[in-house]
């Protein structure tokens, strides 16, 4: 069963509406999916999905070679598209959809190996972030999210951007770190623009010192080539440089024939919220501050989508920028707005 992680932050909770009619909320959606600048649309390994027959959406980022990665992402997309939720229970719907996608990707891998398209030892897979919109016991709108790998879900509320999901990456592989410690370091990584000059707070250093020896021993440059005089800063540089390493994905052979562990997050929503679901082609290129600025300035979901794409294209082509990464990108923007027309009809 999914490990549900409810939003415990009081600032993210809807205030009580005593003696008031709840406003009718609608979700304005826009999506985009583009290959890297040096690739054709057929080579795109990212896919996005907005379901018309159920309140679900998802983004996927395939891995495993040019052909196999795209096959994995498309297979997962089809599995979620064809999935029928057994009930309106958000955590169950998301978990079962992700499980179905995982089994489908593994089946595709076995078929590709049998057909000789890939080697029998080759691994293919895809990240996945899936969301289900529903209502809580009070009738308030909420979103339930399941995430595998490093595709993300963000919430912009009152100008503040919050990463709702936790990447399953090199940083989170250290079991000695708490959830809060991981979020602290991940926030620094999300906003780094120059790994060589970043300044670390004492709190961040206290976390990095726990894992610096292990990181440097496994991924650091030979001491003969570089003198390390700041272990914590070197650990952060390693995490930044290898931020594309993921520790779990759909099709993971460690979970062959098994349900794949999938963290589940549930968050209440309110008018004015903006949700962003994206692959790492977006989050690797842009900082959280840049994403927040773009989402805040956009008046529609489509405008936000186009502005984000433009910013990613520009950054990916900036050769000397530390965050620049030519990559496929998939994203969905969801704006939560009040349906004034429906509210007027209720009053009449």
The mean pLDDT of 160-173, rounded to a whole number, is 97
For the chain, percent of residues with pLDDT exceeding 90:
75
pLDDT at 225 over 60: no
What pLDDT sits at residue 66? 61
Domain that holds residue 294: 3-169+246-347
pLDDT band at 249 (very low <50, low <70, confident <90, very high): very high
Residue 64 and residue 204 in one domain: no
Nearest to 63 by CA among 135, 126, 147: 126
State the Cα–Cα distance between residues 332 and 159, nearest whole angstrom: 19
Q: In what order do the strands lie in the sheet with 329-338?
A: 25-34, 329-338, 274-278, 152-157, 160-163
Return the structure tokens found at 288.
């959280």
Residue 119 and residue 99 in one domain: yes
Cα within 13 Å of Cα(223), Cβ side: 6
**pLDDT tens profile 175-223:** 999 999 999 999 999 999 988 889 999 999 999 999 999 999 999 876 5
Residue 65 and residue 165 in one domain: yes
CATH of the domain at 315: 3.60.40.10
What pLDDT sits at residue 10? 40
Residue 285: count of CB within 10 angstroms of its CB: 25
State the Cα–Cα distance between residues 100 and 250, nearest whole angstrom: 10
Residue 187 and residue 264 in one domain: no
pLDDT at 300 over 60: yes
Q: Which of 242, 259, 293 is the last residue of a domain?
A: 242
The mean pLDDT of 100-107, rounded to a whole number, is 95
Residue 200 and residue 319 in one domain: no
What pLDDT sits at residue 337? 96
- Number of folded domains that form the chain: 2
The mean pLDDT of 41-54, rounded to a whole number, is 93
What pLDDT sits at residue 39? 85
Query: What value does the mean pLDDT of the chain take?
Result: 89
State the Cα–Cα distance between residues 188 and 287, nearest whole angstrom: 10
Return the structure tokens found at 151.
């595709």
pLDDT at 329 over 50: yes
Residue 30 and residue 152 in one domain: yes
The mean pLDDT of 166-170, rounded to a whole number, is 97
Q: Which of 221, 242, 263 is the last residue of a domain?
A: 242
Residue 210 and residue 323 in one domain: no
What pLDDT sits at residue 1? 55
What pLDDT sits at residue 101? 97
What pLDDT sits at residue 12? 43
pLDDT band at 43 (very low <50, low <70, confident <90, very high): confident
The mean pLDDT of 55-65, rounded to a whole number, is 93
- Compute the radius of gyration of the chain from its Cα atoms: 21
State the Cα–Cα distance between residues 69 and 227, nearest whole angstrom: 38
pLDDT band at 9 (very low <50, low <70, confident <90, very high): very low
pLDDT at 344 over 90: no
**pLDDT tens profile 308-328:** 999 999 999 998 999 999 999
């Amino acid at each position: 069963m999914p490990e549900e992680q409810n939003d415990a932050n009081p600032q993210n909770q809807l205030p009580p509406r005593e003696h008031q009619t709840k406003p009718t909320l609608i979700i304005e959606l826009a999506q985009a999916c583009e290959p890297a600048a040096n690739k054709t649309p057929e080579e795109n390994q990212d896919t996005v999905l907005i379901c018309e027959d159920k309140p679900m959406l998802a983004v996927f980022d395939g891995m495993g070679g040019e052909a196999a990665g795209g096959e994995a992402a498309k297979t997962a997309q089809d599995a979620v598209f064809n999935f029928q939720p057994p009930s309106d229970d958000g955590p169950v719907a998301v978990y079962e959809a992700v499980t179905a996608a995982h089994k489908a990707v593994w089946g595709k891998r076995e078929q590709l190996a049998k057909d000789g398209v890939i080697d029998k030892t080759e691994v293919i897979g895809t990240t996945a972030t899936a969301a289900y919109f529903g209502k809580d016991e009070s009738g308030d709108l909420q979103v339930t999210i399941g995430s595998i790998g490093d595709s993300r879900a963000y919430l912009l509320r009152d100008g503040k951007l919050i990463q709702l999901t936790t990447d399953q990456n090199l940083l989170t592989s250290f079991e000695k770190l708490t959830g809060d410690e991981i979020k602290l370091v991940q926030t620094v990584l999300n906003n780094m623009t120059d790994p060589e000059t970043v300044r670390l707070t004492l709190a961040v250093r206290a976390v990095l010192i726990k894992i610096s020896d292990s990181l440097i021993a496994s991924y650091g440059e030979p001491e003969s080539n570089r003198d390390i005089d700041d272990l914590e800063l070197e650990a952060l540089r390693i995490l930044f440089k290898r931020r594309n390493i993921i520790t779990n994905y759909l099709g993971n052979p460690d979970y062959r024939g098994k349900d794949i562990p999938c963290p589940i997050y549930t968050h209440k929503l309110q008018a004015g919220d903006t949700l962003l679901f994206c692959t790492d082609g977006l989050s690797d290129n842009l900082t959280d501050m840049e994403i927040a600025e773009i989402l805040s300035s956009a008046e529609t979901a489509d405008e936000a989508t186009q502005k984000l794409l433009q910013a990613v294209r520009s950054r990916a082509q900036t050769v000397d920028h530390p965050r620049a990464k030519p990559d496929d990108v998939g994203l969905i923007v969801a704006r939560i707005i009040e349906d004034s027309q429906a509210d007027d009809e209720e009053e009449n």
